Structure 1
Amino acid sequence: MFTGLSAFPHTPLRDDAFDAPAYARLIEHLAQAGVDSITALGSTGSYMYLDREERRQAAEVAVQHAGSVPVMVGIGALRTSQVHRLAEDAQNAGASAVLLAPATYQPLSDDEVYGLFEDVTAELSVPLVVYDNPGTTHVSFTDELYALIAAPPQVASIKIPGVPAEPGAAADRVQRIRAHIPATVTVGVSGDGAAARGLIAGCDAWYSVTRAALSGDHAGALAEFARLEPLWTLFAEHGSYRVTAAIAEHLGLVAAECLPRPVQGLGRSARARVAQVVEELQLTE
């Protein structure tokens, strides 16, 4: 489950409460689409805005409605004790793996980040994916920190930020990471518009281009990502979190205003542009 395409669905709200029926529909839709895995409670899944009970419910719904598709559950939290409890909930729900970003308010040293992963992996019975998301967590991983964190056998994959635009530099970046981590640990790329570059550069998974890149059809992958350029432009202007929520709302998959306050959805003009792009790109299929 640590190769291919892992889908990161929204965790929709209705009247400021977890919308289990809508979430179940999203999970079923992804499973039917044939993704390789589903990651509940990632950054797009609003995990830091939800309390423990909401996250427990989301993990259970995801596993129950994913069918044969393996489910990974995000367990990031500000305190290690909270991460332990969330990991227990995810495992009890039947998650096949967990995803951990070092969420923080105070800056963390490398020793503190390593200590978090050391503490959590010591009590895990399922694999763990390391989530390097500096734009959100404000924690930056060095290659040396990757090496330390990836050493325990429970660590199965690392989700890295987008790679450089130049193909040679992108390949060099992925190879430098691989040189620091065990061969058993896969490297997955995040980001959307840059995902094709990451897979072509040698990443094993896209955590969020297509299977074309994974099968070696680099030209086909780049062509598909070029076709989706209007979507990437919207992501760059408004952020993928708000744009994908607007798409789900436009398609009637979730209730209006599904994001957690104080986060607000897109304004009227931006929503109109989203609807136009959805129709132009035939994203309703």
Structure 2
Amino acid sequence: MSLFEGLSAFPITPADPSGRVDTVALARVLNRLADARVDSIGLLGSTGAYAFLTREERRRAVEAAMATVGGRIPVIVGVGALRTDDAQALARDARAAGANGLLLAPVSYTPLRDEEVYAHFAAVAESGELPLAIYNNPGTTRFTFSRELIGRLSEVANIAAVKMPLPADGDFAGELDAIRSVTSPSFRIGYSGDWDCAASLLAGGDAWYSVAAGLLPVETLALARAAQSGDVAQTQRLNAAFEPLWSLFREFGSFRVVYVIAELLGLCKVEPLRPVLPLPDTARDRVAAALIVLRKHFA
């Protein structure tokens, strides 16, 4: 299996209010993923609050992760940063710590043009010397990768995959065909947006980059495997059990919801780093209720 195939679990990065990573709590979260045998771990993705952490803390997180799960589960590390030289340094840090792959988003303050993003990705891919996935996350970065730009980047050494948002029209098959028409057969296409990613696997997507799997790996893996096997009825049945959680993800953003889940599971008690605020008590009660529904289904 390619590094960028199957279920990739994206955990939170537990940290105190100053942004100091709690490596003991992080190891606790990661061991849960390794025990479930997810296909890869997406460390320091958006769920992992990479944009809120210093280079030093990101390096500590990667080193702790590799000490915990290195050699058991492949680890893909997010290396997005505002400046190209910073992203290059983060990529080198990840490689030095033993990471298996990289994930790069075009983080920016000034809106970027295609040529700027191309040069940025080419530079980081060269510095990292590891397989790299393009992180197409327009909801956060306000930059959308065109099919043509993905095709050009797929020809750059080390750039091996793309992580896509859910298509607005729901046409996974059409989008997959379109991207595959401009990339090589070895280039991998995966999706994020948990509530519809099972459908992406049914349609032939290569990977599901999952927030839920970062804390609920056993349940999410069951859904992913049903979709990968082409079992439509089982996929729909399992996805229905997740729907209360998906509804919360859509309403509040998965980043806020997973901090509540981590506490409810007894993994750690931390809050999102400011300026992001924790969920109000009424929403926390709904998260607890969604977990009860999910646990009853998988009991």
Q: TM-score, normalised by structure 2?
A: 0.91
Say whether 1:103 aligns with 2:107. yes
Counterpart position of 1:171: 173
Say whether 1:233 aligns with 2:235. no
Counterpart position of 1:137: 141
Say whether 1:268 aligns with 2:271. no
Residues 54 and 98 of structure 1: CA distance in aligned 2, closer, same or farther (over 3 Å): same
Shift of 1:14: 2.6
State the identity %. Answer: 46
Aligned-partner residue type, residue 293 of structure 2 = E
Shift of 1:266: 0.5
Q: Is the 8 A contact 1:163 1:194 kept in 2?
A: no
* RMSD of Structure 2 on Structure 1 (CA): 1.5
- Three-state SS of the structure 1 residue aligned to 2:289 is helix
CA distance in 2, matches of 1:193, 1:135: 16
Counterpart position of 2:235: 221
Counterpart position of 1:184: 186
Structure 2: runs of 5 or more not aligned: 211-222
Q: Show CA shifts across 1:111-164 (max 9, x none).
A: 001011111122232110110000001111110000011112311211011135
Residue range with higher mean Cα deviation, 83-92 or 61-70: 61-70
How is 1:69-84 mapped onto 2 (pairs within 5 angstroms)? Answer: 69-84=73-88
Counterpart position of 1:33: 36
Counterpart position of 1:64: 67
Shift of 1:237: 1.2
Q: Is the 8 A contact 2:241 2:293 kept in 1?
A: no
- Three-state SS of the structure 2 residue aligned to 1:206 is strand
Q: Is the 8 A contact 1:165 1:197 kept in 2?
A: no
Aligned-partner residue type, residue 7 of structure 1 = A
Q: Is the 8 A contact 1:13 1:255 kept in 2?
A: no
Counterpart position of 2:51: 48
Q: Is the 8 A contact 2:14 2:270 kept in 1?
A: no
2:207 pairs, out of 205, 208, 211, with 205
Counterpart position of 2:218: none
2:27 pairs, out of 21, 24, 27, with 24
- Three-state SS of the structure 2 residue aligned to 1:210 is helix
Aligned-partner residue type, residue 275 of structure 1 = A
Counterpart position of 1:249: 263
CA distance in 1, matches of 2:74, 2:34: 9
- Three-state SS of the structure 2 residue aligned to 1:156 is strand
Residue range with higher mean Cα deviation, 69-78 or 16-25: 16-25
Shift of 1:223: 1.9
Say whether 1:124 aligns with 2:128. yes
- Three-state SS of the structure 1 residue aligned to 2:295 is coil
How is 1:2-21 mapped onto 2 (pairs within 5 angstroms)? Answer: 2-16=4-18, 17-21=20-24
1:194 pairs, out of 187, 196, 199, with 196
Q: Spell out structure 1 runs of 4+ moving beyond 3 A.
A: none
Q: Is the 8 A contact 1:6 1:206 kept in 2?
A: yes
Q: TM-score, normalised by structure 1?
A: 0.95
- Three-state SS of the structure 2 residue aligned to 1:232 is helix
Counterpart position of 1:279: 292
